[in-house]
Amino acid sequence: MPTIDDRGAVSAMKIEFVGARESADSSAVLAAPVFEERQFSAAAKALDEKLSGAVTRALAATRFKGALGQSADILAPEGLDVGRLVIAGAGKKKTWDAATAELFGAHVYQGVKASGAETILIDLTHASAAEAARAAFGAQLAAYRFDKYRTTESAEKKPSIAALKIMAAAPAEAAQAFEPLASLADAVAFARDLVSEPANVLYPEEFAHRVRRLADAGIEVEVLGEAEMTTLGFGALLGVGQGSARESQLAILQWKGAADPAAPPIAFVGKGVCFDTGGISIKPADGMEEMITDMAGAAAAAGALYALARRKAKVNAVAILGLVENMPSSTAQRPGDVVTTLSGQTVEVINTDAEGRLVLADALWYCQDRFKPKFMVDLATLTGAIVISLGKDFAGLFCNDEALAERLMAASKASSDALWRMPLPAQYEKLLESQAADLKNVGPRHGGSITAALFLQKFTAGLPWAHLDIASTAWKPASTVPTIPNGATGFGVRLLDELARGYED
């Protein structure tokens, strides 16, 4: 069987910042921003004057108003050495900022990626260096494409863009501002790669193998196998994986960037169910193929550590990844089984498809017991109920600490990884009471996301903790967000990277 490069999905688009419009061949596209109600930017105004009002005339013949994402084309414009001029909507001039610039860059890329052009030139000479950098970041995120298993795709369907040039007033400053963003985009791509892989390629041991490579970035990586976890007492995690021929793993990633490498770290804990059939409580066939994404929490946690390492963040951080497969077999866990968790608490397994919380129960306890972190944030594609509650654009935030919740909400706003705060009502804990054990792994159908979070809280030892239910945001089969192509989103990487900034030395 041929070996397939496991990083073959990352966009190789070359990105540059230039100070003046450069000579370009006929395959290039020039994009100029126009604000709402056709308020020309300086760049667009200069172009219109150079083309003797051709831009004004072209827009008058269209419904273009300048809304973000709108565009109007002028093919082979006379007087310009480019093959195509795109007038790109930039939204309201008064609300233009770095976040808008990011979406603008993504929209421009999405609009011309399969046009046959090889180069995009985006004139942002009106913008700040930070805004120019964010536009490039948006285009880089938009250019992600997981295509390494496609062997017969026609050239016409493949993106043709190989280079992006951002024209900036201060190109050197913009390039400097882009450096950490480029690293962050690569970390998001790393997480997207993991989530996109099919389960026959990415199983627990292979996942552990890939994160071992992060040692090249300065991350300490340790992996526990089933023998070590059995000795330690990981009864809940191992119970989930016992029906699979694949060995379960626990990956421990440490980044020591603080002035004191022994200072308490911040901690991220990720659910890494590399494929989830539901086990004996098997899922319906419809949509089960998307269960390759049930390790998106672990992918995000690993990607966040990678992002911190790439930018040499001055913080200590640890990521704990619980990696299993949930399969039905003669050795699989059964409904009614009782398992003893690493904490010593016993759990009656009512539904084997509520497996993620069992994996996290042991991973959370191990994290707080070994590392004594400042706080823990777990990420998991945990419940379908969160999708019913919040739709596809918000992840659910459950938190036992107000200060941590506030920081997460601020990081959400800054990173565009959207969170919505959900309740943790103590009176719902009775819904997890079991007649056979200390608690059961599911409550009734109503409030399913809440009881799942309350279950996890039992394994935090009172430490500041937040649970992010990302079942709603980890995968977008038909994305409407320009920075996110269809499929894996990498949700959580940007959020955790932004959160970590508040804890740096």
Question: Phi/psi class of residue 325: alpha, beta or left (left: φ > 0; alpha: ψ in -120 to 50)?
Answer: beta
Q: Please tell me which residue in 271, 357, 458, 476 is annotated as part of the active site.
A: 357
Strand 395-399 and strand 419-421: pairing?
parallel
Task: Work out the number of other CB atoms within 10 angstroms of the CB of residue 67.
Answer: 14
Which amino acid appears at position 76 of this protein?
A
Contact 139, 15 (CB under 8 A): yes
Q: For residue 302, what are its two tokens?
A: 């690993």
Q: How many helices (H) and strands (E) does the chain have?
A: 14, 20
Q: Please tell me which residue in 38, 93, 148, 283 is annotated as part of the active site.
A: 283
Q: Rounded distance, CA 147 to CA 138, Å? A: 20
Half-sphere exposure at residue 28, Cβ-oriented, CA atoms within 13 angstroms: 18
311 is catalytic: no
Strand 39-40 and strand 163-168: pairing?
unpaired
Distances (CA, A) of 153 to 113, 150, 367: 16, 6, 45
User: CA geometry: angle at 413 spanning 478 and 178, to 5°?
Assistant: 80
357 is catalytic: yes
| CA-closest candidate to residue 165, choices 116, 200, 119 | 119
Strand order in the sheet with 346-348: 338-340, 346-348, 439-440
The set of catalytic residues is 283, 357
